[in-house]
Amino acid sequence: MTKATVATCSLAGCFGCHMSLLDIDEKLLDLLQLVEFDRSPINDIKHISRPVDVGLVEGGVCNAENVHVLQEFRRMCKVLVAVGECANTGGVPSMRNGVSLKRCLEQSFIRGLGIEGAQIPDDPELPLLLNRVRPLHHIVKVDYFLPGCPPSADAFWRFLTELLAGRDPALPRELIRFD
Amino acid sequence: MLSRVAAPLETATHPEALRRVVIEPVSRVEGHGKVTLLLDDEGHVRQARLHIAEFRGFETFIQGRPYREVPVLVQRLCGICPVSHHLAAAKAIDVLVGARTLTPTAEKLRRLLHLGQTLQSHALHFFHLASPDLLFGYDSDVASRNIIGVIQAHPTIALQGVKLRKYGQEVIRILSGKRVHGVLAIPGGVNRSLSRDDGESLKKDIDQVVAWSQGAVKTARDLYLADLEKNAAFGSFRSNFVSLIARDGSLELYDGGLRARDHLGHEVFDHLNCDRYLRHIHEEVKSWSYMKFPFIVALGSDEGWYRVGPLARLNNADRIRTPLAESERAVFARLGEGGPVHATMAYHEARMIEMLYAAEAIRELLDDPDCYGSDLVIRGERAFEGVGVVEAPRGTLIHHYEVDETDAIVRANLIVATTNNNNAMNTAVREVAARDLDGRELTEGLLNHIEVAIRAYDPCLSCATHALGAMALDVSLEDASGLLVDRLVRDSDGRVARPGAP
Ligand code: SF4
């Protein structure tokens, strides 16, 4: 049996969703019978190397780099899943949307406590920040939304095994949560 | 003088004439970072930098929120060490409600939670993230240089790692309701006690967890000693060290004062009241990273930067309170030949010794009647400013809040563990670039050497901070149907315009 391929990434997220995926514990070994990982922060594949079956994206979109990575995922993934609150809505990082970016930057790098060499970092190597943090579906088409901050390990397991078995991966009530 | 042969590589004199090589994203670490190398025609490295491209703006958007929300919100900065942020914030908030000394039950349950996290985070880092480099070699095949490769080649080791992490996560789940982003701490205490049933279920596996942790120390040590000369030199340099320390000089992760020692092991400050951190630690801003560069004020920014985390804590501790970890510490300390241990790669063994300490300390606490008590919360005299410091798995974590009469946050300052290691990680990157990469053809494997050095520090880059650069750039956001949602254009002078935004 050829294995399904899965790619994962974290945009403006906290890696908690990835941690929750690893929280399937020993079932990780069973998962590896079913899937092969392409690009993911748990390996050293830096760009998706071929079209893959499932893309799991954690985190919202806060800068230009996030936009590029998300577009790469949409292009290469048959099924794209917005994983967790941040990918679904922007999450906690989108709390900055109520404040101007300039004020956020000045607070951190100029007016902050104990700062020396006050300046706003502006090197070309730093990706351009968007003025608002956005959920994935503002930018690309999303096929499934997995809610929760983070979605539980059981939710990941159920979702993936159902999807890979070719069934509708709808979650039962008890696996859906929003905290 | 701290030895840093590669210090001049921070900034090249004529960057425009050089070839750029980028490692992006740095993988098998938490968060988003990249490394840029600038090389001349002969392949000599002229500049090497680790950039942090994250900026969350937490310190600003938290303003105006009621302080009770902070310990819940702030843990969303990091999904690997949410408990550290939860507890550092909670400790600062304790001060606001006049609860500097908690009830024994509350303090011990918070400690238990923190130990659970130290265990799971250290296991995750060593087994899931770093072990592929150590087991297979830094430039081994990229296809198997990951936890899946380890599961296939060394199933026993990998499975122990998975189960050690699971145990730590279960301690967290039982105490806080969820494995990631649960809640235990509330202002002045905790929201629940440990039930006897839960205590018994955790006790069932703890002896095994202690034994596996001992095995992990041995694995880390054997791997280090297998090529002592190389490991001692790889990405190595001398530095100062900062950590919390217990009153009696023993290893401390949850409370205590701050200790700083210089590269010879001499005291810079000791048992410093954490409330006064700002007088002793400042942060320098550099244009090329959103992560600031902290340093000890008395020593200045050039000589005063320091390392934090497992290596710093073991160097700073006079002893460890639990017997098994203490005997391993004594063996480890010999690597320093009378002074601190400076090797970057020694972080791994230090981390595993701390994991053993966490396992032993959990075992003790599960037998402590206080953990099953019912006196959970206290309150005292209201204050308007509070500082909370803990040792997160990756190092010293500082939260500082000021509130007004309506309980709203008016000012927040965070110095996270990875930021404390910023200068150290950049130094390690430059050392590896200068010694291992200079003048050679840069293969994937060779570039991984840089990442191996960064990984040793177990950085948590999303904990650190995102802004605007100065290169010409045009970003368009389209929705699923191809409709333009937003467009930003930045010209080469850094002016940003938003033509045709909705
Ligand atoms: S949804 Fe929650 S757990 Fe997932 S990345 Fe966002 S904050 Fe972290």
Of A108, A122, A141, the CB nearest to B465: A108
For residue A118, the tally of other CB atoms under 10 A from its CB is 12
User: For residue B481, what pLDDT is reported?
Assistant: 53
Nearest CA in chain B to A93: B56
Q: Do B466 and A149 touch (CB under 8 A)?
A: no
In a domain, B44, yes or no: yes
In a domain, B479, yes or no: yes
Give me the residues of B, 434-463, that contact A with CB < 8 A: 448, 451, 462
Q: Which residues line ligand 1 (CB under 6 A)?
A: A 13-14, 16-17, 58-59, 84-86, 91-92, 149-150; B 76, 79, 180-181
Range of the domain at B491: 473-502
Q: In terms of pTM, does the model score above 0.90?
A: yes
Give me the residues of B, 383-402, that contact A with CB < 8 A: 400
User: For residue B347, what pLDDT is reported?
Assistant: 98
Residues of chain B with pLDDT under 70: 1-5, 462-502
Select the residue from A126, A129, A132 to test the B interface by mutation, using most B Cβ atoms within 10 A: A126
Give the number of the atom of ligand 1 that is nearest the alpha carbon of residue A150. Answer: 3
Q: Is A134 on the interface with B (CB under 8 A)?
A: yes
Cβ atoms of B234 and B453 within 8 Å: the answer is yes
Give the number of the atom of ligand 1 that is nearest the alpha carbon of residue A58. Answer: 5
In a domain, B435, yes or no: yes
The region that residue B322 occupies, defined by phi over 0 for left and psi between -120 and 50 for alpha, beta otherwise, is: beta
- Beta-carbon contacts of B126 under 8 Å, excluding residues fewer than 6 positions away, are B161, B216, B220, B348, B351, B352, B355
pLDDT range class, residue A136, cuts 50, 70, 90: very high
Q: Do A121 and B60 touch (CB under 8 A)?
A: no
In a domain, B168, yes or no: no
Angle formed at CA B320 by CA B134 and CA B344, multiple of 5 degrees:
30
Tell me if residue A143 falls in helix, strand or coil. coil
Tell me if residue A86 falls in helix, strand or coil. helix
Name the residue type at position A165: A
In a domain, B37, yes or no: yes
Cβ atoms of B72 and B183 within 8 Å: the answer is yes
Write out the two tokens for B42.
């002969």
Q: Do A129 and B468 touch (CB under 8 A)?
A: yes
* Pairing label, strands B281-284, B293-296: antiparallel
Residue B472 CA to residue B495 CA, distance in Å, equals 9
Quickly tell me which residue has 């503002």 as its tokens.
A138
Cβ atoms of B501 and B491 within 8 Å: the answer is no
| Ligand 1: residue whose CA is nearest its atom 2 | A149
- Beta-carbon contacts of A96 under 8 Å, excluding residues fewer than 6 positions away, are A104, A133, B56, B57, B60, B61
Of A115-129, A137-151, B166-180, B293-307, the least confident: A115-129
In a domain, B498, yes or no: yes
Residues of chain B found within 8 Å of residue A126, distances taken between Cβ atoms: 51, 53, 288-290, 467-469
Query: What's the number of CA atoms in the CB half-sphere (13 Å) around residue A126?
Result: 25
Cβ atoms of B55 and B467 within 8 Å: the answer is yes
In a domain, B189, yes or no: no
Of B288, B473, B477, the CB nearest to A139: B477
Give domain A4-95+131-169's CATH number out of 3.40.50.700, 3.40.1280.10, 3.90.950.20, 3.30.499.10: 3.40.50.700
Select the residue from A101, A122, A125, A145 to test the B interface by mutation, using most B Cβ atoms within 10 A: A125
Helix axes B104-123, B155-176, angle to 10 degrees: 150
Of A95, A113, A152, the CB nearest to B61: A95
Give me the residues of B, 467-486, that contact A with CB < 8 A: 467-471, 473, 475, 477-480, 485-486
Give the number of the atom of ligand 1 that is nearest the alpha carbon of residue A92. Answer: 7
Write out the two tokens for B181.
């982003």
| ipTM value | 0.94
pLDDT range class, residue A49, cuts 50, 70, 90: confident
Write out the two tokens for B303.
């000589």
Q: Is B145 on the interface with A (CB under 8 A)?
A: yes
Q: Give the mean pLDDT of A101-130.
A: 87
Give the number of the atom of ligand 1 that is nearest the alpha carbon of residue B76. Answer: 7
Nearest CA in chain A to B173: A23
Min distance B327 CA to chain A CA atoms (Å): 31
Sign of dihedral through CA atoms B488, B491, B494, B500? negative
Q: Is A72 on the interface with B (CB under 8 A)?
A: no
Select the residue from B22, B34, B59, B61 to test the A interface by mutation, using most A Cβ atoms within 10 A: B61
Sign of dihedral through CA atoms B134, B137, B139, B140? negative
Same domain as B486, residue B455 = no
Domain count, chain B: 2
In a domain, B409, yes or no: no
Residue A92 CA to residue B409 CA, distance in Å, equals 17
Q: How far is the CA of B169 from the centre of ligand 1 (A)?
A: 17
Q: What is the DSSP letter of B313?
A: H
Of B56, B287, B448, the CB nearest to A93: B56
Of B25, B49, B78, the CB nearest to A46: B25
User: For residue B476, what pLDDT is reported?
Assistant: 46
